[in-house]
Amino acid sequence: MTAEARQPIRTRGRLITFEGGEGVGKSTQVARLAEELRQKGVDVLETREPGGSPGAEAIRTLLLDPDLKGWPPMAEALLHFAARSDHMVRVIEPALAAGTWVLCDRFTDSTMAYQGVTQGLGTSIIEQLSALTLKGRRPDLTIVLDLDPEVGLRRVAARGEDRNRYELMDLEFHRRLREAYLMIVRSDPARCVVVEATYSVDDVAEQISALVSGRLEARLAG
pLDDT tens-digit map of 28-81: 999 999 999 999 999 999 999 999 999 999 999 999 999 887 789 999 999 999
Average pLDDT, the chain: 92
Q: Residue 2 — pLDDT band, cuts 50, 70, 90?
A: very low
Position 210 pLDDT exceeds 90: yes
pLDDT tens-digit map of 98-110: 999 999 999 999 9
pLDDT tens-digit map of 139-177: 999 999 999 999 999 999 999 888 999 999 999 999 999
Domains of the chain (ranges plus CATH)? 15-220 (3.40.50.300)
What is the DSSP track for 202-218? HHHHHHHHHHHHHHHHH
